[in-house]
Amino acid sequence: MPRRVATITLHTSPLDQPGTGDAGGMNVYVAEVSRRLAAAGVEIEIFTRATSSDLPPVVEMAPGVLVRHVPAGPYEGLPRDELPGQLCAFSGAVLEAEAHQEPGWYDLVHSHYWLSGQVGSLARMRWGVPLVHSAHTLAKVKNAALAAGDRPEPAGRVLGEEQVVADSDLLVANTPAEAGQLVDLYGADPARVTTVSPGVDLGRFQPGDRRVARRRFGLPEDGTVLLFVGRIQPLKAPDILVRAAADLVAADPALRRSLTVVVCGGASGNGMGEPAALRRLASVLGVSDLVRFLKPLPPDELGQLYRAADVTVVPSHNESFGLVAVEAQACGTPVVAAAVGGLPTAVADGRSGILVPSHDPADYATVLRRLIAEPRYRAALGRGGVRHAARFSWQHTADGLLDGYRAAMRSRSGHLAPV
């Protein structure tokens, strides 16, 4: 049982609001599992890059969970593409923090995303402790399924991921599909790969009164509401939902009187897919009057928004898991999602939602047209979504990580002394 874990999440903080910049499901993941690991008696210290001079050096996020803001590069205006240039400064600060503690302060390093993995590899060697790594997304997978107009991930990231895979004592995959990608695309040793699915806060995301939820956001109580939640970027493909809505009203003009498309999210950290571009697309397609934009919401309000929707649409070109899909299902809202990455795990096709085997807006319109026309079928999928989401919990995720930590510590014991 590890006493203390150094968690590295260089490019985004668990304190950031998901849905904008570089903050997303990974932020939720780190925050939720850290709280539960701490409740199990494991102290967690999270190292993340400071993005403001106003941030205190250390913040207690929860009992037993500290967030350390590490100065590395300019506080603001540094895009993720330029973060590799700050790896040396960030790594030095992490090693210095450990140097001020007693020897053997950390029992294990858990890095999230490939940039953090580079730092974790150095800490592993310096401290003589196991490195557990969660990729969350993989460059080779993203480049194989690029959205139109999206930039491919650079060769430097591919090389960096290969190095982290080779250095890690344990690789944590979100789904069996991701585990297979680590083995097949990156040459990972299957014996060093474990699958631990992310979870959902079932106490927060649960069914509720749809009419109350709609009144909260000023949505029509008797209309049809289609929802997208996530960063507005080509990878997440909110444009597919907007185009599908245009197809729906073109085929049935009467639907225009009752249809609302809600897009909840902010601009991506890579600067692509600004909300203004999505607004222009809606205007060009003649559906500006149907599309409503909301800023990213805190969890309690997000749960209300899921409950307000008839269907949540997740048309991403790639997802390592699909946290939005599970949260929506936990609230009793069926999901229409792309059949990519981890979404076939997050969504039970035909039982909690519908998986679409393409990114053609016409195919999404076909599925959505049926769900709009058949409220009983939609309700049955909603009930199935609640049952399916109950399989995922953050406690189960934390327990799986603890098992992985113990295995990594056993296999590492005595193999490497601190430098």
pLDDT-derived band at 4 (thresholds 50, 70, 90) equals: very high
pLDDT value, residue 412: 73
pLDDT-derived band at 52 (thresholds 50, 70, 90) equals: confident
pLDDT value, residue 272: 44
Closest by alpha carbon to 177, among 137, 124, 227?
137
Phi and psi (nearest 5°) for 259? -95, 135
Same domain, 268 and 401: no
Q: Which domain holds residue 355?
A: 210-390
Q: Return the higher-pLDDT residue of 320 and 43.
A: 43
Q: What CA–CA distance (Å, rounded) separates 331 from 325?
A: 10
| Model confidence, pTM | 0.91
Same domain, 47 and 85: yes
Phi and psi (nearest 5°) for 114? -65, -35
Residues that constitute the known binding site for 1D-myo-inositol 3-phosphate = 11, 22-27, 80, 113, 137, 157
Residue 63 in domain: yes
Q: Is the pLDDT of residue 361 over 70?
A: yes
Same domain, 386 and 400: no
pLDDT in tens, 57-71: 999 999 999 999 999
Same domain, 347 and 412: no
| Residues near 21 by beta carbon (within 8 Å), at least 6 away in sequence | 12, 231, 266, 267, 268, 269
pLDDT value, residue 271: 46
Residue 204 in domain: no
Residues that constitute the known binding site = 11, 17-18, 22-27, 80, 113, 137, 157, 231, 236, 306-307, 309, 319, 327, 333
Q: What is the mean pLDDT of the chain?
A: 93
Q: What CA–CA distance (Å, rounded) separates 380 from 332?
A: 9
Residue 32 in domain: yes
Return the residue matching tokens 């993995």. 117
Residue 205 in domain: no
pLDDT value, residue 270: 44
Residue 92 in domain: yes
Q: Return the higher-pLDDT residue of 23 and 406.
A: 406
pLDDT value, residue 107: 97
Q: Quick one: average pLDDT of 388-413?
A: 93
The CATH number of whichever domain residue 55 belongs to comes to: 3.40.50.2000
Residue 276 in domain: yes
Residue 329 in domain: yes
pLDDT in tens, 99-151: 999 999 999 999 999 999 999 999 999 999 999 999 999 999 999 988 877 88
pLDDT in tens, 265-282: 987 654 444 688 899 999
Q: Is the pLDDT of residue 38 over 60?
A: yes
Structure tokens at 220: 């029509």
Same domain, 184 and 62: yes
Same domain, 192 and 231: no
pLDDT value, residue 276: 87
Residues that constitute the known binding site for Mg(2+) = 306-307, 309, 333
Q: Of the given ranges (77-81, 109-113, 231-235, 381-385), which has the lowest mean pLDDT? A: 77-81
Closest by alpha carbon to 161, among 141, 145, 177, 176?
141
pLDDT value, residue 418: 54
Same domain, 29 and 65: yes
pLDDT-derived band at 413 (thresholds 50, 70, 90) equals: low
pLDDT-derived band at 80 (thresholds 50, 70, 90) equals: confident
Q: What CA–CA distance (Å, rounded) separates 339 from 357?
A: 5
Same domain, 349 and 407: no
pLDDT value, residue 24: 79
**63 touches 82 (CB < 8 A):** no
Indicate the residue type of 76: E
Same domain, 136 and 181: yes
Q: What CA–CA distance (Å, rounded) separates 83 from 100?
A: 26
Indicate the number of domains in the chain: 2
Q: Quick one: average pLDDT of 207-233?
A: 95
Same domain, 296 and 402: no
Q: What CA–CA distance (Å, rounded) separates 385 from 398?
A: 22
Residue percentage of the chain with pLDDT more than 90: 84
Q: Quick one: average pLDDT of 17-32?
A: 84
Same domain, 81 and 54: yes
Same domain, 225 and 184: no
Q: How far is CA 107 from CA 31, 104, 128, 190, 412, in A?
A: 20, 7, 9, 24, 11
